[in-house]
Copies of this chain bind each other. A is one copy, B any other.
Amino acid sequence: MTAWTLAQRATKMNPSVIREILKVTEQPGIISLAGGLPAPQTFPVAQFAQAAAAVLERDGAAALQYAASEGYAPLRQAVADLLPWDVHPDQVLITTGSQQALDLVAKVLIDPGSRVLVETPTYLGALQAFAPMEPQVVAVDSDDDGVHIEDLAAKAGSGAAKARFLYVLPNFQNPTGRTMTEARRQQLVERAAELDLPLLEDNPYGELWFDQPPPAPLAARNPEGTLYMGSFSKVLAPGLRLGYLVAPRALYPKLLQAKQAADLHTPSFNQRLVAEVLQGGFLERHVPAIRQLYQRQCQAMLAALQQHLAPLGVTWNRPAGGMFLWLRLPEGMDALALLPRAVEQHVAFVPGAAFYAEGGDARTLRLSFVTATEAQIHTGIAALATAIRSGA
């Protein structure tokens, strides 16, 4: 038997808690409020079928050939056009999902031991993408309005210990569903500039607003101090793995080199498909239907929570968009301990502890309101109430 020696970083890698939970939820009869799977009925299957036929008919050889690492020029232009500040297509790097953007940023900005700041709690996938580069991840206190500016300043560090960046999800955050207020955004951008602290802004959910769009992105306020990440996963379909980075000019060449080394380029066919589907302002017609569906499902979940969980002392927030809602169990309860009892009742969620870079509130949990139907949401929340009562 050959003795394979693992890299130190590999000994620290752990299976994704969420992916392990998702396996459980694949059991028949389980209502999953766990995963962040967009509602499949929103996928524009017919448009993709038309686009696939058109792209292969018109440009088949090019769509199936190797392509530039930067991305397909018309798609880079389309991304620049979609964004609400002055973005040049040369700043856009197409990535294989926005998860890859996190991997590239980590490679380019994180040395072993580098301080990296994140919200409390934060997106688990970002922690996993950063981990191979072995950062020291520091959680900045956060509330319903976003990160605490004074705690940010206290933790930004200086000299060699200065944080490489703050990773922040201002819109309908994963996992909490919260949105950073206009005032907090402005404070954050100003204070980050004073601290000379780069921002990594992740915005997969920004288009999924219910009643009004969220405030302008951080990148729009300080483009040269912010690396911006976007995705087509939530407005078109995640299975194509299409995301993008908008990078300050100082960083773009290094991110591009990391991209070349990572997978040469994002699939040419997928980039051309999405560019084709986007033509003629498709998103303007398509995204409102997603917003309405998710708002209805969120309202259904809020109503079910009020009916079944309010009497049990559970609390939650009211997201203004996105896919997730954040619950807090009564004192003395533990969401991780609750999960197997919930699965017995045929409902699944993600325990909140998975989303904390440091420590963690064992009473919290994340619910998705986008994958299950309204009827399933009602049944699932009632089942969750049964699970909670069974442990009381």
Interface string of A251-277 (1 = CB under 8 A from B): 101101110111111111110000000
Q: Are B261 and A241 in contact (CB under 8 A)?
A: no
Residues of A114-140 whose CB lies within 8 A of B: 114, 125, 128-129, 131-133
Copy tally for this chain in the complex stands at 2
Collect the chain B residues with CB atoms within 8 Å of residue A4's CB.
Answer: 109, 198, 248, 250-251
Q: Contact check: which of B60, B162, B241, B257 meets A265 at CB < 8 Å?
A: B241
Partner of A263, one of B7, B52, B100, B269: B100
Judge whether A310 is part of the interface by a CB distance below 8 angstroms: no
The B-contacting residues of A in range 41-59, CB under 8 angstroms, are 41, 43, 45, 48-49, 52-53, 56-57
Stretch at the interface among A64-72, A174-182, A380-388: A64-72
A13 and B266 CA atoms in complex are apart in Å by 20
**What is the chain B residue whose CB lies nearest that of A7?**
B111
Residues of chain B within 8 A (CB-CB) of A66 are 35-37, 233, 238-239
Q: Is the CB of B40 within 8 A of A61?
A: yes
Contact A64 B240 (CB under 8 A): yes
Which of B48, B60, B224, B240 meets A49, CB within 8 Å? B60
Which residue of the partner chain B has the closest CB to A54? B49
- A108 on interface, CB distance cutoff 8 Å: yes
B-facing residues in A215-246 (Cβ within 8 Å): 222, 224-225, 233, 237-241
Task: State whether A60 and B37 are in contact (beta carbons under 8 Å apart), knowing that A108-B6, A224-B1, A269-B240 are contacts in the complex.
Answer: no
A296 on the B face (CB < 8 A): no
CA–CA, A10 and B252, complex, Å: 12
Given A38-B65, A241-B267, A270-B267: A109 in contact with B5 (beta carbons within 8 A): yes
- Complex interface: chain B residues within 8 A of A6 (CB): 108-109, 254
Binds B, one of A14-22, A206-214, A325-333, A352-360: A14-22
A25 sits at the interface (CB 8 A) = no
CB closest residue in chain B, given A233: B66
Complex Cα spacing A208 to B15, Å = 38
Residues of B within 8 A of A198 (CB): 2, 4
B196 touching A239, Cβ below 8 Å: no
Residues of chain B contacted by A254 (CB below 8 angstroms): 6, 10, 13
Distance between Cα atoms of A81 and B20 in the complex (Å): 28
- Asked whether A37 lies within 8 Å of B16 as measured between CB atoms, the reply is no
The residue in A10, A37, A99, A239 that gathers the most chain B C-beta atoms within 10 A of its C-beta is A239
Chain B nearest CB: distance from A224 CB in Å?
6
The reply to whether B5 and A65 contact each other, CB–CB distance below 8 Å, is no
Q: How many angstroms between the C-alpha atoms of A35 and B114 in the bound complex?
A: 38
A8 at the interface (CB under 8 A from B): yes
Question: B-contacting residues of A (Cβ < 8 Å)?
Answer: 1-10, 13-16, 19, 35-38, 40-41, 43, 45, 48-49, 52-53, 56-57, 60-67, 69, 96-97, 99-100, 103, 107-112, 114, 125, 128-129, 131-133, 162, 164, 192-193, 196-198, 222, 224-225, 233, 237-241, 248, 250-251, 253-254, 256-258, 260-270
Q: List 14 A-B contacts (CB under 8 A).
A: A2-B197, A4-B109, A9-B107, A35-B66, A40-B64, A43-B65, A64-B239, A66-B233, A99-B262, A103-B261, A107-B132, A241-B264, A263-B263, A267-B270
